[in-house]
Homo-oligomer: A and B are copies of this chain.
Amino acid sequence: MAAKTDDSGPVLPAAIESAWGLRERPPKGPRPGMSVPAIVDAAVRVADADGLAAVSMSRVAKELGAATMALYRYVGSKDELLMLMVDAGYGPSPGPPAPEDDWRAGLTRWAWAEHEVLRQRSWLLHVPISGPPITPQQLGWMDDGLRCLDGTTLGEGEKMSVLLLITGYVRNEATLTSQIAEGSRAAGVDPSEMMPAYGRLVARLIDPARFPALHRVLSAGVLYQDDDPDDEFVFGLDRILDGVEVLIRRRAG
Taking Cβ atoms with an 8 Å cutoff, the residues of A that contact B are 7, 9-10, 12, 16, 20, 126, 128-132, 134, 139-140, 142-144, 146-147, 150, 155-162, 164-165, 168-169, 171-173, 176, 179-180, 182-183, 186, 197-198, 200-202, 204-206, 210-214, 216-217, 220, 222-223, 227, 232, 235-236, 238-244, 246-247
Q: When the two chains form their complex, are residues B214 and A146 in contact, meaning their CB atoms are under 8 A apart?
A: yes
Q: When the two chains form their complex, are residues A239 and B165 in contact, meaning their CB atoms are under 8 A apart?
A: yes
Q: Give the secondary structure class of A's interface.
A: helix
Q: When the two chains form their complex, are residues B236 and A164 in contact, meaning their CB atoms are under 8 A apart?
A: yes
Q: When the two chains form their complex, are residues A182 and B130 in contact, meaning their CB atoms are under 8 A apart?
A: yes
Cβ of A172: which chain B residues have Cβ within 8 Å of it?
Answer: 168-169, 171-172
Kindly identify which residue among B134, B168, B214, B220 contacts A205, using a CB–CB cutoff of 8 Å.
B134
CA–CA, A168 and B235, complex, Å: 14
Kindly identify which residue among B147, B171, B241 contacts A213, using a CB–CB cutoff of 8 Å.
B147
Cβ of A173: which chain B residues have Cβ within 8 Å of it?
Answer: 168
> Which of chain B's residues has its CB closest to A142's CB?
B214
> Which of chain B's residues has its CB closest to A171's CB?
B172
6 A-B pairs besides A131-B179, A146-B214, A168-B236 with CB distance below 8 A are A9-B204, A134-B198, A142-B214, A146-B217, A156-B222, A242-B246
